[in-house]
Chain A
Amino acid sequence: MNALGATLFSPLAGIFLLAFIGHRRWAKTVNLLICTATFVTALLLAIEVFQQGPILSVNKLFYIDGFNVYLILLNAFVGMTTAIFSGPYMDHEIAIGRVDDRRMRLYYSMYQGFLFTMLMALSTNNLGILWVSIEGATLATVLLVSLYRTHESIEAGWKYFIICGVGISQALFGTILVYFAAVRIIPISEEGLLWTVLQQHAGQMDAGVLSLAFVFLLVGYGTKVGLVPLHNWLPDAHSEGPTPMSAILSGLLLNIALYAVVRFKMLVDPALGSHLAGNMMMGFGMLSFSVAGLLLHRQYDVKRMFSYSSIEHMGLMTFAFGIGGPLATFGALLHMIVHSLTKSAIFITVGHATHVAGTQKMSNIRGLIRTQPFVGWGLLIGTCAIAGFPPFGVFTSEFLLFTATIKSYPWLAPPLVLGLAVAFAGLFRNLQPMVFGEPPVGQEAVVANMWPVFVHLTLVLWLGIAIPTVLAQWLNQATIMLVGKGVL
């Protein structure tokens, strides 16, 4: 329990601390230290959960189970590695005068705020608080998206703000409906939004209301997941914000929105007793997957391109959760991990690459491997990993996903693999000229810390070759929670 408290407290403290000292040269170290502390405590928490099983806090406000504990761990970890990267990156930004002290304070404190809201969203037991924290995550990041105060960044920020705000309020309506359905059967109305309570009475809630609620929730949180056609904010926000932001946005935020959707699906399914929710998710997933894959061919901005690949993969996961069934769910959970790790690694590399080339325009990024081999190879390997080449973990999860699809919806398998090929082509046609070939004259290497990338990719590689038993157990527990039976 203390572990949980500490996990939540350290970023909370970080918000205020860094709000004051964020502009100092050593702020990045403080930031990193706080993130490390968060990670360590999260690790302790994870171990605790693994030993004692699910934890419910005394005030019933927090609940940690097999499903969210590994996401908490993932959050803390990626938050930490990205903090490592953000140090030199932001220094470079200051050096070229894109940000000033005030914005640095904002940046660091909001960085912590973002982590805090997300950990909150994951660990809370109250679906209302879940909503509040996810909205909070939007508020925390919206100013970071427009950090550079250029026309594009402000535009991106505004779109992000309005689209997500509107979407999220729909989710709130859904939550209200769930509450409405709950209070009729739950004695204490104060507990009407507690996950632990709702889960027990899931079967008894009224189907009609819940189906309505799920529509609102899906559209609402789906906006945050970046499901087509609710995705339009995502590429803008990713491409215009500072790169560390993009890394945690697509590495973590999307996951958490999806997490929320899945939580509600777990409530809705038993009540409906039909596959309605799943079908809706499959539809959204398929649409996002294919549209994003096609749009990859129209990209001019490197970060924008990878944000579309994020949409594609979120679509894939949504599709998998929609299918349901142990195999697909296990695959989706695994895909959450590997995608976060890989995608944040890619964004980190892209950050350095943009500094090397001095632009985000892909037409001007050339010959990275020759200029700075580690960055070039990192980008190349990372993209191979995200494109689903073995022996990386994405391959494993996609393999599970496809076999599950073929088992339950064989006619959906061909478009799925076709979409994969299309997406791959889109990625590589743009990637190759960036990493290979002759670098333009005067292009020089920059100070880059590739350790985060290395660690991430190594982990993904490990997951691809052999999944450690601990993780397998967690995922299996989560799978059992989600669909009733596991794969082990």
Chain B
Amino acid sequence: MLIASLSLPEQVVLTLAALILLSSFLLLAQVRLDSLINTFALQGLLIFFATVLMAFIAGKYHLLISAALTLFLKVFFIPGQLRLLIIRLNIRREVEVIGNPSLIMLFAAALVLFSYYVALPIRELSLLSTRNTIAISLAVVLIGMLIVISRRKAVAQVVGFMSMENGLFFAAVVSTYGMPMVVELGIAFDVLVAVILFGVFFFHIRAEIGSLDTDRLNHLTEVEK
């Protein structure tokens, strides 16, 4: 079905989806922690807008609650927490070196194609206008995972992890108008606790190895050195 045949809000949602994907790429590309966090906040914001729009399009107003949750968690709380941490740990300007960024970018692009290919059977089913976005959200999830894999710094890994959460949430919203409320709340609670725990861990790791470079956490292995 052609995008032209959609109503304007729907077109906006699709555009937002594209932007969200873009933001994932940006996350992947960022080398400085503070800008990484800012980009993450931006992604959260985009998702917030998309959710609100979906709420109005489908007239499912409980989505507004989850939208609010997103706004609070993904835009303000989590980025704020992280900023606080990196300031207190004094690693704001720390630069994360990524082994061969262009290669990783290419791989991410391949992931997008792959997720489209994977999501094909789903989009055939969906009654929603925004069904193609499932592929996008899957891509966001996979790229988030790629971020966790390709970064050494604990903070960056957390950001990647959170952007996976973004992808999941987005998928829930655009494919099924969000999960049942109770589940949404539960998930939100988990994310909240997770972030706090992450904060605790940063300090422990820092205290133990003097930096947040998780590659130096490699004592536990079966391969004798």
Chain A residues packing against B (C-beta within 8 Å):
61, 126, 128-129, 131-132, 135-136, 139, 142-143, 146, 149-152, 154-159, 161-162, 165-166, 169-170, 172-173, 176-177, 179-181, 183-184, 189-190, 192-193, 206, 208-209, 212, 235-236, 239-240, 295, 298-299
11 contacts between A and B (CB under 8 A): A128-B179, A129-B186, A131-B186, A139-B197, A150-B208, A151-B209, A157-B201, A166-B145, A169-B165, A206-B121, A212-B121
Report the separation of the CA atoms of residues A128 and B180 in the bound assembly, to the nearest whole angstrom.
8
The 9 closest A-B pairs by CB, nearest first: A128-B183, A132-B186, A208-B121, A155-B217, A236-B220, A135-B190, A298-B222, A154-B204, A180-B175
For B197, the chain A residues whose CB sits under 8 A away are 139, 142-143, 161
By the criterion CB–CB under 8 Å, are A139 and B190 in contact?
Answer: yes
Given known pairs A176-B172, A208-B121, the reply for A154 and B183 (CB within 8 Å) is no
Given known pairs A132-B189, A176-B176, the reply for A158 and B217 (CB within 8 Å) is yes
Report the separation of the CA atoms of residues A88 and B167 in the bound assembly, to the nearest whole angstrom.
46
Given known pairs A128-B179, A132-B187, A176-B172, the reply for A162 and B204 (CB within 8 Å) is no
Residue of A61, A143, A161, A165 with most partner-chain B CB within 10 A? A165
Report the separation of the CA atoms of residues A173 and B181 in the bound assembly, to the nearest whole angstrom.
17
Cβ < 8 Å to A, chain B residues 198-222:
198, 200-201, 204-205, 208-209, 214, 217-220, 222
Q: How many residues of B contact A (CB 8 A)?
A: 49
By the criterion CB–CB under 8 Å, are A128 and B182 in contact?
Answer: yes
Report the separation of the CA atoms of residues A128 and B198 in the bound assembly, to the nearest whole angstrom.
23
Report the separation of the CA atoms of residues A457 and B194 in the bound assembly, to the nearest whole angstrom.
37
For B217, the chain A residues whose CB sits under 8 A away are 151, 154-155, 158-159
Chain B residues packing against A (C-beta within 8 Å):
118, 121-122, 124-127, 134, 138, 141, 145, 148, 154, 157, 161, 164-165, 167-168, 171-172, 175-177, 179-183, 186-187, 189-190, 193-194, 197-198, 200-201, 204-205, 208-209, 214, 217-220, 222
B interface majority secondary structure: helix
- Neighbour of B220 across the interface among A152, A169, A177, CB < 8 A: A152
Report the separation of the CA atoms of residues A474 and B149 in the bound assembly, to the nearest whole angstrom.
44
- Neighbour of B141 across the interface among A173, A189, A206, A235, CB < 8 A: A173
By the criterion CB–CB under 8 Å, are B182 and A129 in contact?
Answer: yes
- A239 (CB) vs chain B CBs: closest residue: B220
For B187, the chain A residues whose CB sits under 8 A away are 128, 131-132, 172
Report the separation of the CA atoms of residues A367 and B109 in the bound assembly, to the nearest whole angstrom.
59
By the criterion CB–CB under 8 Å, are B208 and A151 in contact?
Answer: yes
Report the separation of the CA atoms of residues A156 and B190 in the bound assembly, to the nearest whole angstrom.
21
For A192, the chain B residues whose CB sits under 8 A away are 176, 180
By the criterion CB–CB under 8 Å, are A161 and B220 in contact?
Answer: no
Given known pairs A132-B183, A169-B168, A172-B187, the reply for A139 and B121 (CB within 8 Å) is no
Report the separation of the CA atoms of residues A154 and B212 in the bound assembly, to the nearest whole angstrom.
12
Residue of A129, A166, A192, A299 with most partner-chain B CB within 10 A? A166
